[in-house]
Structures are given as C-alpha cells and as structure tokens.
Amino acid sequence: MDTKELLKKVRKIEIKTRRLSDHIFGGEYHSTFKGRGMTFSEVRQYYYGDDVRNIDWNVTARYNEPFVKVFEEERELTMMLMVDVSGSELFGTTEQFKNEVVTEIAATLAFSATQNNDKIGLILFSDHVELYIPPKKGRSHVLRIIRELIEFQPDSKKTNLAEALKFLSNVMKKKAIVFILSDFIVDDYEHTMKIVSGKHDVTGIRVYDRREESVPNLGVVQMEDEETGELMLVNTASKKVRRNYEKFHREKVSYFKDCFSRSGAGTIDCRVDESYVKKLLGYFKQRG
C-alpha cells in the first residue's frame, strides 16, 4: 500500500470513528471508566444543598461564613489496546473482514480516551508480541496507532493470547483499562487472564463472522487454515463434519466467556455484519 492510499484510509477511519467518539462514546466512556479518586481543587462559598461534610471549618472560622472544599476526579487513565493480528483475523464473508472491524472499534475507543485526556497504548500480537507502542496522549498518537492497525504485516499467523497477557503484565505496572480485540479462537489463557484482571480493568471484544458459527452444506470443498496455511478437502455434506465444526466453535466461545467471567473481566460480542456501535454503547451503559 503506497503512502497516499494509506493516508486516505487513515483519514476515512478517523472521520468515521472520531464522529462516534465525539458525539456518542466520549461521555459514556468517561462515566464508565472512573479515575483513581478525588483530588482537592479549591475552596468556595457554601450554597444551599452543598454537602455539609465538605465544609472547610478553618476558612469558615476565618471569614465568619461557611466555605466548602471542592474536589475533582483525578482521571489520568491509561487505555491499552491489545489487538490480535493472527491469520484468522483476515476472514470475512460479508462487506468487511474481521480485522477491518477491529480497526474501527480500536480507533473509536482510542478517540474516546483522547477526548478524556487519557493515554493510549497498543499491543499487536500473534503467537508473540509483534509490536508495542507505549501509551501517550494526543490525536497524532492515535493516528499512528490507526496506521499500524491498517498496514502492519505480522511475522506469524498463529495466536497465543497468554504470551501477550504476560507481556502486558510486565510493561504496565499501574492499573490500566485494557481492551482485547480478537476472535478468541484460542484457549489456555485463563491462568494469565486471572492475574491480569486482578490488576487491570479488562474487556474482551470478540469480533467474528457468522460463517464461523456453522459450515453450510457445499459438498466437498478445499479449505485453508489461515493460521497454519494447511490445505484440506472437507466434505461439508457430512452432518458429522458440520456438527463437529459447530461443537469446536461453541467450545471456543464458551471458554472465552467463562474465562473472562471467572476472572472478573467484561465481554462484548461483535459480529462483522452487526453494528458495533450498539454493542459498545450497550456495554458502556450497563457498566456505567
């Protein structure tokens, strides 16, 4: 992809996702993810209805009229976007591939964080951490993240979420808001997830295609495993083959939801042909 085409794509995503974050998600994000507490701001005169527990008795005695302390929320939060860039993300049977929807969701979340003056960092992972961008503030930083999401070419097509979570634990010493964007066609990460969720506010966003839930009867077809590159002939006319595939998919989804639930983390399911806007808003409102 040449530079001109890349910048055009980045701009298109910025316009769409920034509009969403400005008009919809900014306030919901702020109310959902609280700061680290309240910090003293100033003293002002007491007004009817103020909490009497906030009266500053020293200032009140000095001026012989009531004054109250004013506190502000101490935000200074950090959002970490953990994005799966393995081969299975390059799949889609409708208008968009999974990785394209993931990019839009990540950009929307990043601009929502920026609107609230929070830092944003990025971890791209396959079966190892492919790229780490430390958290920073600002629009130019978010645009860099979007560029990487669009054009990054991973070394591996395989997936290992546990390794990515271990890396996160090592680089993020303070509590962060963590969004993991993946199809979660992987397992063996529950132990690491419990450790990470004990320290950070974690949400898993599962982005999937409807054709991953079941295989239609198409007769004998050649299929390729996106993560291993293996080609195989599959008899989709066989009910047993279709049942086994559906069972495999259900097990992966069940593992994802059970693991996150037991770890105290949140989950969102986003099918590529559905509105991720409604899913994110519903999740924010539920948590807020």
CATH code for position 180: 3.40.50.410
Closest CA to 106 of 83, 90, 86: 83
The percentage of residues in the chain with a pLDDT greater than 70, rounded to a whole number, is 86
Residue 172, pLDDT score: 94
DSSP label at 238?
-
Which tokens belong to 92? 């889609």
- What amino acid occupies position 225? D
Say how far apart CA 76 and CA 119 lie, in whole Å.
Answer: 8
Model confidence over 221-239: pLDDT tens digits? 777 666 677 787 877 778 8
Which tokens belong to 190? 């529950």
Say how far apart CA 75 and CA 177 lie, in whole Å.
Answer: 12
Which has the higher per-residue pLDDT, 234 or 167?
A: 167
**Per-residue confidence at 129, pLDDT binned at 50, 70, 90?**
very high
Beta-bridged to residue 38, according to DSSP, are: 73
**The domain containing residue 63 runs over which residues?**
38-73
Which has the higher per-residue pLDDT, 133 or 45?
A: 133
**Judgement on whether residues 195 and 91 belong to the same structural domain of the protein:** yes
Residue 7, pLDDT score: 73
**Judgement on whether residues 68 and 128 belong to the same structural domain of the protein:** no
Closest CA to 181 of 246, 76, 254, 272: 272
Q: Which of 86-100, 102-116, 175-189 has the lowest mean pLDDT?
A: 86-100
**Judgement on whether residues 162 and 173 belong to the same structural domain of the protein:** yes
Provide the domain count of the chain.
Answer: 2
Tokens 């701009």 sit at which residue? Answer: 11
Tell whether 26 is covered by a domain: yes
**Per-residue confidence at 93, pLDDT binned at 50, 70, 90?**
low
**Judgement on whether residues 153 and 184 belong to the same structural domain of the protein:** yes
Q: Is the confidence at residue 92, as pLDDT, over 60?
A: no
Tell whether 228 is covered by a domain: no
**Judgement on whether residues 174 and 112 belong to the same structural domain of the protein:** yes
Q: Is the confidence at residue 134, as pLDDT, over 90?
A: yes
Residue 241, pLDDT score: 81
**Judgement on whether residues 128 and 52 belong to the same structural domain of the protein:** no
**Judgement on whether residues 62 and 203 belong to the same structural domain of the protein:** no
- What amino acid occupies position 286? Q
Which tokens belong to 113? 């964080």
Residue 230, pLDDT score: 76
Residue 141, pLDDT score: 95
Tell whether 93 is covered by a domain: yes
Which tokens belong to 133? 């961008």
Residue 207, pLDDT score: 95
Rounded mean pLDDT, 144-167: 94
DSSP label at 36?
S
Closest CA to 183 of 226, 119, 218: 226
Q: Which of 86-90, 113-117, 132-136 has the lowest mean pLDDT?
A: 86-90
Tell whether 257 is covered by a domain: no
Q: Is the confidence at residue 198, as pLDDT, over 90?
A: yes
Q: Which of 53, 73, 93 is the last residue of a domain?
A: 73
Tell whether 137 is covered by a domain: yes
**Judgement on whether residues 114 and 175 belong to the same structural domain of the protein:** yes
**Judgement on whether residues 151 and 281 belong to the same structural domain of the protein:** yes
Which tokens belong to 22? 């400005």
Report the predicted TM-score, pTM, of the whole model to 2 decimal places. 0.78
Q: Is the confidence at residue 95, as pLDDT, over 70?
A: no
Q: Which residues contact 32 (CB under 8 A, 6 or more apart)?
A: 284, 287, 288
Residue 197, pLDDT score: 95
Which tokens belong to 236? 């989709």
Q: Is the confidence at residue 41, as pLDDT, over 80?
A: no
Residue 121, pLDDT score: 97
**Per-residue confidence at 37, pLDDT binned at 50, 70, 90?**
low
**Judgement on whether residues 57 and 127 belong to the same structural domain of the protein:** no
Say how far apart CA 137 and CA 114 lie, in whole Å.
Answer: 6
φ, ψ dihedrals at 275, nearest 5°: -80, 110
Which strand (E) or helix (H) includes residue 44?
strand 38-45
Say how far apart CA 47 and CA 115 lie, in whole Å.
Answer: 31
Q: Is the confidence at residue 34, as pLDDT, over 80?
A: no
DSSP label at 129?
E
Rounded mean pLDDT, 188-215: 92
**Judgement on whether residues 160 and 194 belong to the same structural domain of the protein:** yes
**Judgement on whether residues 90 and 48 belong to the same structural domain of the protein:** no
